Structure 1
């Protein structure tokens, strides 16, 4: 994606994703692009500079980080996006929850938020990174260890992936405690795989684990919601989702669904393209639980 010109929609999504990693003034520009792109489409660069109380040069700098030659190209791309979609994919309609919302409407909004997060991630997904992650797992030696690390809600994603891997006979380890994570990292060998999940990409001990594992020669993969976050700077491969914040559920609720789906895709690749032993293990692990079902 770095070598091509972004569409208007990609500009909006990418601006949202990189904004946390930018300096204060640039972050304000990126957030304005992500959250007020319809206003931007009708504004001059002077209008935006005056509104944000920053220089036009700062706006131009952010435009270039979004793969645009300048503000005019960015504005043109966003305007085309708005005209083509006619707001049919507008997020704002579903992002606010109100006390007067019916139970049905609340459920509908939550489900639509998840659907939009999946669609938006599909629009910016880095398939080169996904291919590299698949290659790492498919080429691992039998003795290589797999460690999955995450905190809070991210640890649940790790446990789900651990369950999936076990279905095809791949044993992995999940550690939630930061001390346990670092202790296990100290025992990592070259060729091992460490996958870290951090929604913000800034969870310090998860970033430290990835960095330490990489220094010891392990393959490192991050799963996060933000491009250019701290974890993406140290991991070998980065699998990035994109989900917009909602006031109550937060952005990690929808992002969690996307990240589970990304790892489902990785698991599916292994199950289909892996060794015959994976297929045999899938049959064994499925058969062993059949007697526990009605």
Structure 2
């Protein structure tokens, strides 16, 4: 079963993606919205400002940070979002594992986590940016993927898939190698930096070097205003709605892989015959070597 993403959940998803980069006052507003969303939706601007101990203008600026013209637009869309979530809440599983859970129940909770983070990712993605990234990759002379830790594992997996359909691609997970490769980039190359937090100093620095060298830079990250976004021509946001299940590793890697698989699918769609021929060649050569 695959859950269809809910466009009306976009406000809470966006608040979550912005939270780490907000000011102290904005964080307080964001936390209150996430804790008591119904109260916010039912209150007037004056009541909200009073309960949060902020000025009305401050809350209006927060609404604009989320992409709304003002409070009225925010409140209307937020009320619709909460009403839709209320209708669906009975279908959502508690994703906290308990001592009494059977293996099947834990599997169902994990499925719920996966469905939630994928749906959140689709809500957060800028599909115009995604289309432009695919265009840049199709005409790229070379493609590099940078990432450290678990993001490096994801980068290596994406390298394998893109190579199989004919792209000149490589991945680096060591910061020294990333810096060296980035310095050798030039116009016509594309570099994709993967950092869930968006604060990885190694990946951010590598993208900055690559951008200065003339390459097109792409960030895959959860945080909308993180350092890596400032050195990227295109930003693709992944979800993070995971609750307390399995820390943050399950949802993080799945959403990164989802974004990269979406890129892969769009590349295949754009040049299906070329991708098919390249994949046949790469699969055949591996089989030949294994049969020797």
Query: 8 Å contact 2:9–2:85 — kept in the other structure?
Result: no
1:227 aligns with 2:217: no
Partner of residue 178 from structure 2, selected from 173, 178, 181: 181
Structure 2: which 5+ residue stretches go unaligned? 1-6
1:199 aligns with 2:193: no
SS at match of 1:94: coil
Query: 8 Å contact 2:156–2:171 — kept in the other structure?
Result: yes
How do 1:137-156 and structure 2 match up within 5 A?
137-140=137-140, 144-156=141-153
Distance 1:43 1:185 in 2: 51
Deviation of the 1:56 alpha carbon: 3.4
Query: 8 Å contact 2:139–2:188 — kept in the other structure?
Result: no
The residue number in structure 1 matching 2:156 is: 159
Deviation of the 1:51 alpha carbon: 4.6
Deviation of the 1:186 alpha carbon: 1.7
Structure 1, 72-81 or 237-246: larger mean CA deviation: 72-81
Instruction: Give runs of ≥4 in structure 1 deviating > 6 Å.
Output: none
Distance 1:92 1:110 in 2: 12
Alpha-carbon displacement from aligned partner over 1:212-260 (angstroms, at most 9, x marks no partner): 1111100111111121222112101111112224234234521321221
The residue number in structure 1 matching 2:75 is: 75
The residue number in structure 1 matching 2:118 is: 118
Deviation of the 1:20 alpha carbon: 1.4
The residue number in structure 2 matching 1:169 is: 166
The residue number in structure 2 matching 1:29 is: 29
The residue number in structure 1 matching 2:3 is: none
Deviation of the 1:205 alpha carbon: 1.5
- TM-score, normalised by the number of residues in structure 1: 0.86
Alpha-carbon displacement from aligned partner over 1:155-185 (angstroms, at most 9, x marks no partner): 1110111010121132322111111111221
Aligned residues: 284
SS at match of 2:94: helix
Distance 2:8 2:33 in 1: 10
Query: 8 Å contact 1:16–1:31 — kept in the other structure?
Result: no
Structure 1: which 5+ residue stretches go unaligned? 1-6
The residue number in structure 1 matching 2:108 is: 108
Query: CA 1:42 to 1:136, structure 2 compared with 1: closer, same or farther past 3 Å?
Result: same
The residue number in structure 1 matching 2:214 is: 217
Distance 2:100 2:38 in 1: 28
Deviation of the 1:202 alpha carbon: 1.0
Query: CA 1:263 to 1:168, structure 2 compared with 1: closer, same or farther past 3 Å?
Result: same
